[in-house]
Amino acid sequence: MSRRKTAKKRLINQDPIYNSKLVSLFINKIMLKGKKSIAQTIFYNAIKKAKESLNKDAMEILEKSVNNSTPVIELKTKRIGGTTYQVPVEIRNDRKTSLALSFIIKSARKRPGKDMISKLGNEIIDSFNNTGNSVKKKEELHRSAETNKAFASFK
Does residue 153 sit within a domain?
A: no
Q: How many other CB atoms are there within 10 angstroms of residue 155's CB atom?
A: 10
Share of the chain above pLDDT 90, in %: 63
Structural domain including 105 reads: 21-72+91-131
Number of structural domains, the chain? 1
Q: How many residues belong to the chain?
A: 155
Could you say which DSSP state residue 153 is in?
Answer: G
The CATH number linked to 108 is 1.10.455.10
**pLDDT, mean of residues 41-68:** 93
Q: Which helix (H) or strand (E) holds 81?
A: none
- pLDDT at 1 > cutoff 70: no
**Residue 12 pLDDT class (50, 70, 90 cuts):** confident
Does residue 59 sit within a domain?
A: yes
Phi, then psi, of 88 in degrees rounded to 5 = -75, 130
Which residues lie below 8 Å from residue 143, measured CB to CB, with a gap of 6+?
Answer: none
Chain-centroid distance, C-alpha 153? 28
Dihedral angle, C-alpha 143, 146, 148, 152, nearest 10 °: 140
- 13/20 Cα distance (integer angstroms): 8
Does residue 64 sit within a domain?
A: yes
- pLDDT at 153 > cutoff 80: no
Does residue 10 sit within a domain?
A: no
- Concatenated DSSP letters for 118-133? HHHHHHHHHHHTT-SH
Share of the chain above pLDDT 70, in %: 98
> If you average pLDDT over every residue of the chain, what do you get?
90
pLDDT in tens, 113-130: 889 999 999 999 999 999
**Residue 44 pLDDT class (50, 70, 90 cuts):** very high
How high is the pLDDT of residue 61?
Answer: 93
